[in-house]
Structure 1
Amino acid sequence: MSIPHSNDRPVKFPGPDHPIAIERHPSRIVVKSGGKVIADTRDALMLREARYPAVFYIPRKDVDMTLLQRTDHATYCPYKGDCAYFSIPLAGEPGVNAVWTYERPYAAVAPIREHLAFYPDRIDSIEELASDAISG
């Protein structure tokens, strides 16, 4: 099912043909890029969408935003809304537009608001640690 978006882009709703599930992830997630810890959280969300690989969404409060630089790049997802991007300058060329966020996501995916996601192939690592692991 879809309805027109205010700027004539379609808005679609998750359903049997395109399921989207969002749940809190139980493990601690640490994101590293350019040899530095970019994010460290125990409050990650896992978004599973249709046949795409699952994606961690990290709360902004657990991301070192001083290491990111907003870019002019933008995309649109009919299920989630307008998507904005950040680069990780210390990562060099691979860090360009390596981070994305839905700042005003559609209601069906509202929990990802104030969260960031990272392209795994544009950063050093996304580590899943036991929730009691100590940062080193």
Structure 2
Amino acid sequence: MAKGHTITIEQGTRRVRVVRDGRVLADSARPLVLRETGCPVRYYLPAEDVRLDLLTPSGTHTHCPFKGTASYWSLPDAPDLVWSYPDPKPDVAAIKGHLCFYEVEVE
């Protein structure tokens, strides 16, 4: 990690739901909570808790020097709504197989 840049990942204990236009896109009682310097808290949800059948893979890829290359999924009216790191860097290996949404509800 760059000097002064930290990422921590811990097992969350609260339920996280993603609802858009009345449809539940994800519902998980086992999120990973990722905290990164200068960024909002992000919840990474196991793929099994995400309605991947409702999402379409996107051609978008972005690169983070700390986490690796992200792949994205979209809804027809919400491009690149969710992302994951299929091959994350070793320091954040725990997020492999998890997806993250921009907007979540935490209970």
What TM-score do you get using the length of structure 2 for normalisation?
0.95
What residue identity is the alignment partner of 2:105? E
- SS state at 1:27 partner: coil
Report whether the alignment pairs 1:17 with 2:4: yes
RMSD: 1.1
Q: Which runs of 5+ in 1 are unaligned?
A: 1-13, 121-125, 130-136
> Which protein has the bigger strand share?
2
1:97 corresponds to: 80
- Aligned counterpart in structure 1 of residue 42 of structure 2, from 55, 72, 77: 55
Residue 98 of structure 2 is aligned to residue 115 of structure 1:
yes
Aligned to 2:58: 71
The secondary structure found in structure 1 opposite 2:106 is strand
SS at match of 1:97: strand
Q: Percent identity of the aligned residues?
A: 38
Q: Does residue 27 of the first structure (1) align with residue 14 of the second (2)? A: yes
**What corresponds to 1:134 in structure 2?**
none
Moved over 4 A (4+): none
> Structure 1 or 2: larger helix share?
1
The structure with the largest alpha-carbon Rg is 1
Specify the code of the residue in structure 1 equivalent to 2:48: K
One-letter amino acid matched to 2:85: Y
- Structure 2, unmatched stretches of 5+, are none
Q: Partner amino acid for 2:9?
A: I
Paired letter, 2:42? V
Alignment partners' CA distance in 2, 1:23 and 1:45: 6
| TM-score normalised over the length of structure 1 | 0.75
- Residue 34 of structure 1 deviates from its aligned partner by 2.7
